[in-house]
Amino acid sequence: MSSHLDSLRQFTTIVADTGDFVSIREYTPQDATTNPSLILKAAQMPEYAELVNKVLAETRNADDVLGEALDKLAVFFGLEILKIVPGRVSTEVDARLSFDTTATLAKARSLIARYEKNGIERERILIKIAATWEGIRAAEELEKQGIHCNLTLLFSFPQAIACAEAGVQLISPFVGRIMDWHKAKTGNDYAPADDPGVQSVTAIYNYYKKFDYATEVMGASFRNTGEITELAGCDLLTISPGLLEELQKTEGDLPCKLTEEAANASNVEKMTLNETAFRWELNEDPCATEKLADGIRRFAADTVKLEQFLTEKLKLQPA
């Protein structure tokens, strides 16, 4: 009998949400995603000490040692992941640039240049950018240059609409963090079908399919397998190793929950958002407002921790 993971693969592209090469090899996903938190976790693993030391040895004479080391480390992990997955890897722009369109553009182009220097075509890279207004504007410009983007920290319908109108390649709505917020506010536990995060992604998927947007929807940040199975049929789902293991160990077939037929039958109306409307609609959604800010702070904090880790490692290396 097939597993839930095998069944899910029939409807949805599976993406590994990890920087750990061993886990990626074990679950054979199509794509993989990374972020500062995952890179920090992976960089501290003993099995990746050689890779980290190599990065530091190559960057110790740079004008901006830490900046160079951060970018080189992110790309090194991406390069190793691309040896394993047949598809794409997502590499994140520094969260501290989330409100600076110009700096985000420069960083994204720099990351792509590093990959291309190592023989990787830009079609295999997704540049991860926070779904702020500034980030979406940067992504719009990058897409015109053939640099494809993954808009992350997405918690609301207005963010999704703005991304689609900007021609973004892919969005990552954060299912589990939406549910976390509602659970904290209400004290309720949610069945998978009633999960606010699941409902948010379903609404976005239906909107994109009904109005023929090419932007891909990749559900992310899952807390349990029930959230995942309720979104069977979503374009992509990025799943942590622990939940991938649980899905693989569970026998049975899954029904496809999200379909283009259901999307076309939905009653949703088309919307257009300028900057004023976007900022107002985001402001009116307390979950999205709080979780977007919190997510940026968390990723920025982990980037600082990674800088501190690299600084300590540099002290131990011979000059």
Active site residues: 128
Bridge partners of 173, per DSSP, are: 154
Kindly tell me the sign of the dihedral angle through the C-alpha atoms of 288, 294, 296, 302. negative
Helical H segments across the chain, by residue range: 4-9, 21-27, 36-43, 49-59, 65-82, 101-117, 133-144, 157-165, 175-186, 196-210, 225-230, 241-249, 260-265, 275-283, 286-316
> Which residues lie closer than 8 Å to 156 by C-beta, 6 or more apart?
200, 281, 282, 285, 287, 288
CB-CB contact of 291 with 231 (8 Å): no
Give me the half-sphere count of Cα atoms (radius 13 Å) on the Cβ side of residue 180. 14
3-state secondary structure of 216: strand
Residues recorded for the chain: 319
User: What CA–CA distance (Å, rounded) separates 92 from 17?
Assistant: 13
> Which residues lie closer than 8 Å to 256 by C-beta, 6 or more apart?
10, 11, 232, 233
User: What CA–CA distance (Å, rounded) separates 24 from 34?
Assistant: 12
Bridge partners of 125, per DSSP, are: 89
